[in-house]
Amino acid sequence: VYVVMRPIPGATDRPFKLALVTASPYEAQDYCDSAEEVVEKVAMTPGLIAWVQAFVEEFHQEEAFVKRRRDRLRTDRKQDGIGDPRIEKPADIYASPALKRKRLA
């Protein structure tokens, strides 16, 4: 299991408070990424192993792997001067300087 602890500023005898205990490595990784908490691994007791195993056997559902396809969206096209049509505006405030020069010429 993973134990997540938060430091207590100014405490000397007990410098951390317990924030979370989890069996999920993904959840523990999220706390490791923040660098605000201390995450430690602790060995599971036999009773906890049996409890987690029973939970997984009852609730786990296998998911089929689906390979993600790349979007066919073209990102190299230019949208010059297009703004949000839902926003009422006196002029095209999203127009590029090049488009504005063309309109003035």
Domain boundaries, the chain: 2-46
Please check whether residue 29 is in contact with residue 23, taking contact to mean a CB–CB distance below 8 angstroms: no
Chain mean pLDDT for the chain: 81
Give whole-number Cα distances, 45 to 5, 30, 59, in Å. 20, 24, 21
3-state secondary structure of 6: strand
Q: How many CB atoms lie within 10 A of CB 31?
A: 19
pTM for the full predicted model: 0.52
pLDDT, tens only, 24-70 = 899 999 988 887 899 999 999 999 999 989 999 999 999 899 888 87
Supply 53's token pair. 């195993």
> pLDDT at position 57, please?
94
